[in-house]
Structure 1
Amino acid sequence: MQLTDKFSYDKCNNKVKYQIKHEDIPISLSKELREAIYYLLWYVPNIKSEQSEKNELLTNPQYDDFIFLEIMKSMNLSDEDVLYTESITEKMISPFLEEICIKCPKIIMTISSGETKTMALLRHIRNAIAHGNFNVIGDMVVGFDLQRYENHIEYRGFFKINPNNLLDSLRKIQFDYNSQQLITKAFKNTGYFIQVYQEKYQRSHDFELFARKNNKKYAIDIKNYKYEKIVDQDFIREMINQYEGLIDDITPILIINTSFLDKKSKEELLCHDVIVLDVKNIQKMVKGRDMVAEIERAQLFKN
């Protein structure tokens, strides 16, 4: 699947008339939609919420298409279902204002300057939910991100999507991106064979991925969970002890935000032949630059 300009409007003959205003108050919501709303209001990354965490990948243009395509897959969207544009005209939005097909998901959205498609989508859905401009019609949650003026309405986003698929997508955003999918893509783009780490490779440490290139083998440990500012030295030593249990000349690779490591931790990891990759390294690997090989060559020159 790829992003194209093949957006198409609802073609079904049995469209459903609807209104955004809730007939029953409070509106009856499925468990999945309630959980999705909790994520949207409080836990979406990079928003002004005390519960929100920073996620650089979602705001980085380099990863934009990759992550947005994964979200589209989670929402069961094709390229014909998504339109992103500088502005939404009356002609674009009018086919959805009074009736919709409740079987075909669709998204129309504007993107602000410097904004990724992923963050734009989250912003529009969140705004629609927060301001009550949504309703549940059949198996779809339908909503508009809009601004009302005295003489007209400015539409900034529209969506009709399945709540279960929305929840799956939000869970991926919360828990998956930063991790295995992206790392797998980065290593494949630089010529590595990569797969889920299996028990036959390991002794005492649970790694996420195994990679191989030419005659070299690697065990990949991905640290995404939240640390307090700096990783504790005892934790580093414990991790190194576990790494040393590897067999068959497998080199450990630690993928971590290097701001969590102080100078002593980095030096200790290097002394034990642990390769450390951060987000910037992974960005370069997605583009096809083998940072693992570069780090290994640099270490050879030092020695």
Structure 2
Amino acid sequence: MKITEKFEINSKGPTRQFSIMHKEVPIRLTNDLDEAIKMLLWYVPNISSEQARVNDLLLNPFYDTYIFTEIMEQMNIRDEDILITEEIKANLVKFFRGEVRVDEQKLIMTLADNDETKTMALLRHVRNAIAHGNFNVIDDLVIGFDVKKIGDKTDYKGIFKINPSGLLKALRKINEDFTNEKLIATAFRRCSYKVEVYEEKYQRSHRFDLYARKGNKRFAIEVKTFDFREIMSRDFVRDMIGKIQGIDSDLRPVLIINSSFLSDENREDLIRENVLILDIKNIKKMQKGRDMLEEIVTRQEENNKNE
């Protein structure tokens, strides 16, 4: 699935009239929607809740499209059902007020600024709508509006019509799968690597983040993709080289990093120390089963033979 500009509105299909006001108070919720609401209000990463944890991965623009696409697939929402826009105009809002189709999902949203990821925008809009009671349930769908009211004017920031079960699946995936090490481990496993935490003397070691093995090839993996916003310093390179000292000679160090944060000089120093470097493009391909690490190793071995 790709997020493009294929969004469409088709008025043909079964519809139901509804009001944003709840007829029964408190509103009756399915088990999935009840759990999803609790997760949204208290446990979603990077929100203003004492129960929420920080997850830099969800804030990182380099992984935004990949993560958002994975979430949409969990929710079974198509490219044609998604619109990300600078402004939600009145002629679009009318399709979601009073009477709506009940055989489709839709997601329309704005971003707070250029730095907000699509994933965090989705969570923010749904959370705001539910927290302010601006939602209702129609058959198997929950429909909601994230609005900003200034006097008599209502400015729509987000509109969603989604299946609560799909939303719950997405929230669980966010909390369980979208962490730095889990994302990397999944990518390697999809390329038939055995992946474990890095150990020394049969104990967990923090020298590297992960250990990976495929056949007779072994790798020590350092994940630095998500923690930095500027060019890596020389201190980082010296620290990375220091970690390499003393490890098994047949254990190849791997650095996973946003390549834009690595200067040419630092890259060359690391390569001279036999460090393999993977960036976001490589990890995305490995998520699809293409072994980029093996391709890089093979290419280096061929170059060494030709020298």
Please report the TM-score for the alignment, with normalisation by the length of structure 1.
0.72
Which residue is equivalent to 1:251?
A: 218
Cα deviation per residue 1:191-222 (whole Å; 9 max; x = unaligned)?
Answer: xxx6375xxxxxxxxxxxx1xxxxxxxx4336
**1:94, distance to aligned residue in structure 2 (A):** 1.2
Separation in structure 2 between the aligned mates of residue 38 and residue 269 of structure 1, nearest angstrom: 47
Aligned AA (2:145): F
Q: Residues 84 and 274 (structure 1 numbering): CA distance in 2 closer, same or farther, change over 3 Å?
A: same
**1:236, distance to aligned residue in structure 2 (A):** 1.4
Is it true that 1:267 corresponds to 2:243 in the alignment? Answer: yes
Separation in structure 1 between the aligned mates of residue 293 and residue 215 of structure 2, nearest angstrom: 22
Give the gaps of 5 or more residues in structure 2.
228-238, 259-277, 287-291, 301-307
Q: Residues 236 and 7 (structure 1 numbering): CA distance in 2 closer, same or farther, change over 3 Å?
A: same
**1:284, distance to aligned residue in structure 2 (A):** 5.7
- Contact between 1:16 and 1:99, CA under 8 Å: does it hold in 2? yes
Which residue is equivalent to 2:159?
A: 158
Which residue is equivalent to 2:41?
A: 41
Separation in structure 2 between the aligned mates of residue 18 and residue 196 of structure 1, nearest angstrom: 48
Which residue is equivalent to 2:64?
A: 64
Separation in structure 1 between the aligned mates of residue 9 and residue 24 of structure 2, nearest angstrom: 29
The SS at the match of 2:67 is helix
**1:267, distance to aligned residue in structure 2 (A):** 2.5
Identical residues among aligned pairs (%): 40
Cα deviation per residue 1:260-279 (whole Å; 9 max; x = unaligned)?
Answer: xxx69973786133635455
The SS at the match of 1:76 is coil
Q: Residues 91 and 248 (structure 1 numbering): CA distance in 2 closer, same or farther, change over 3 Å?
A: closer
The SS at the match of 2:128 is helix
With 5-14 and 84-93 compared, the bigger mean Cα shift is at 5-14
Aligned AA (1:110): T
Aligned AA (1:50): E
- Contact between 2:41 and 2:131, CA under 8 Å: does it hold in 1? yes
Q: Residues 22 and 266 (structure 1 numbering): CA distance in 2 closer, same or farther, change over 3 Å?
A: farther
Is it true that 1:220 corresponds to 2:186 in the alignment? Answer: no
The SS at the match of 1:49 is coil
**1:243, distance to aligned residue in structure 2 (A):** 6.8
Separation in structure 2 between the aligned mates of residue 238 and residue 3 of structure 1, nearest angstrom: 38
- Contact between 1:33 and 1:163, CA under 8 Å: does it hold in 2? yes
- Contact between 2:75 and 2:170, CA under 8 Å: does it hold in 1? yes
**Aligned-pair Cα RMSD in Å:** 3.9
Separation in structure 2 between the aligned mates of residue 81 and residue 243 of structure 1, nearest angstrom: 40
**1:253, distance to aligned residue in structure 2 (A):** 3.6
Give the gaps of 5 or more residues in structure 1.
188-193, 198-209, 211-218, 224-232, 298-303
Cα deviation per residue 1:45-81 (whole Å; 9 max; x = unaligned)?
Answer: 1112222222222111111111111111111111110
Cα deviation per residue 1:156-184 (whole Å; 9 max; x = unaligned)?
Answer: 00001000000001111111123688437
Aligned AA (1:142): I
Is it true that 1:283 corresponds to 2:280 in the alignment? Answer: yes
Which residue is equivalent to 1:78?
A: 78
The SS at the match of 1:124 is helix
Which residue is equivalent to 1:136?
A: 137
Is it true that 1:9 corresponds to 2:19 in the alignment? Answer: no
Is it true that 1:31 corresponds to 2:31 in the alignment? Answer: yes
**1:257, distance to aligned residue in structure 2 (A):** 5.8
Separation in structure 2 between the aligned mates of residue 247 and residue 140 of structure 1, nearest angstrom: 45
Separation in structure 2 between the aligned mates of residue 169 and residue 287 of structure 1, nearest angstrom: 19
Question: Which residues in structure 2 correspond to 1:84-123 (within 5 Å)?
Answer: 84-113=84-113, 114-123=115-124
Cα deviation per residue 1:7-54 (whole Å; 9 max; x = unaligned)?
Answer: 112433431000111111111111111111111111111112222222
Please report the TM-score for the alignment, with normalisation by the length of structure 2.
0.71
Equivalent pairs counted in the alignment come to 259
**1:88, distance to aligned residue in structure 2 (A):** 0.8
**1:87, distance to aligned residue in structure 2 (A):** 1.0
The SS at the match of 2:195 is strand
Aligned AA (1:12): K
